[in-house]
Chains A and B, each alone.
Chain A
């Protein structure tokens, strides 16, 4: 099977549809035209650039280029985690905790998947490493951002309850245990829902892409299963770390609730 390459002008047809949607939004005053157009332009430019980068990377396949790209992806994801928390920790903590948790979980789970399960040679073969790491970071990022957002916001809303629990002699961990559980849940829910719906409600994007590119569906399905299981694991460990570090930072060494460590919420 050969893949039908897409001519650039044919993508223009898809772009025209987006323009039509934007026009409809303007006409109906729905207020999404601006962000819709901006996001569409971003997706075109970013994906075109990453296509060029990947072509170059596949041609050279040096470890240090791959590490460099991986680090850039990690830092961008770390920035995104910060941006998605309206109420976040002050100073370098918001970025540090999000990025640290993503680094530990996505990098180790991706490395393990490459070394033990897929086993390309060399193990960092960019054709496998980069897409896996990219998808892993994307999922982990969503989970960590959701959980930290929920954690900070709920702690802020329930500050008087937490303090009253502290007054009764509860250790800080106990005083926020149900909030930690809730934060953990909201970080994990998208992954768990995606696994529950996979194949019935939705055909996952990666598998669909592989099939479009000519892989036999059974191979594509195996990769999809691998990817969903490892993503959930990566997201789970990342969320555990983020919630644990994030909630620790909200209390000081005397187990006092320190809301002064949170920035005021932005609109």
Chain B
């Protein structure tokens, strides 16, 4: 598969204006900022779920020139609060992914046979990440992917995500709160200040 970067060019949505950003393939760019500053809306704009200004490219391909559902399949947003609409866990996955889930996720091997109602919020979140990855996107938009996890599983999920990101050379925009997490996963870190993004230097 081709390795494609994600390019934001003067994207405006909500309170944010003219956000330009490059996410190289295989790299994690973290976004942070106070709640309500528009991080999630920016991810929604990149996934083309909200009307917005500016351009987004995946490699050479412009967002607007790609049918919307194909774009979202390639540039996949995993929301902070995932939704499950069938009764069984397995029904949300394509046939080829209904086997055992990766052990790094810390889920019991038979979780695919469970009803959704049996999952905790942390288990849902981990399964949502797996559900997104099995669809083989080329870029990932992660909205606080470890918000409902405790310390140990946070580390395990981070490591699994980073390994997958490197192996598949995914371009990743990762919204995070925890400075420790940002230090662990980010290749670059931007903070939202007012209507703009500013490069954050985490070494200080």
Chain A positions near chain B (C-beta within 8 angstroms):
158, 160-161, 163-172, 178, 252, 254-257
Contacts and interface: CB of A to CB of B under 8 A. Distances in A.
Contacts, number: 55
B147 to A, nearest CB: 16
B77 A167 contact: yes
B69 A171 contact: yes
Contact of B76 (A160, A161, A168, A178): A168
A184 B49 CA distance: 27
Contacts of B159: none
Nearest to B78: A167
A170 B49 contact: no
A256 B48 contact: yes
Contact of B68 (A158, A163, A256): A256
A256 B50 CA distance: 7
Nearest to B141: A167
A172 B83 contact: no
Contact of B72 (A160, A161, A167, A178): A167
B49 A167 contact: yes
Nearest to A159: B83
B75 to A, nearest CB: 9
Contacts of B77: 167
B72 A169 contact: yes
B83 A164 contact: yes
B138 to A, nearest CB: 11
A167 B79 contact: yes
21 contacts: A158-B85, A160-B81, A163-B49, A163-B79, A163-B83, A164-B79, A164-B85, A166-B69, A167-B72, A167-B78, A168-B76, A168-B135, A169-B76, A170-B69, A171-B69, A252-B51, A255-B69, A256-B50, A256-B51, A256-B68, A257-B49
Nearest to A172: B69
B69 A167 contact: no
A46 B78 CA distance: 57
Interface in B121-138: 131-132, 135, 137
Q: Shortest 7 CB-CB distances between A and B: which pairs?
A: A169-B73, A164-B83, A255-B68, A254-B68, A171-B69, A161-B83, A167-B77
B49 A256 contact: yes
B82 interface: yes
A155 B50 CA distance: 17
A171 B71 CA distance: 11
B70 interface: yes
Contacts of B137: 169
B72 A166 contact: yes
Contacts of A163: 49, 79, 83
B144 to A, nearest CB: 15
B187 to A, nearest CB: 24
Contacts of A256: 48-51, 68
B47 interface: yes
Contacts of B73: 168-169
A169 B69 contact: yes
Interface in B84-143: 85, 131-132, 135, 137
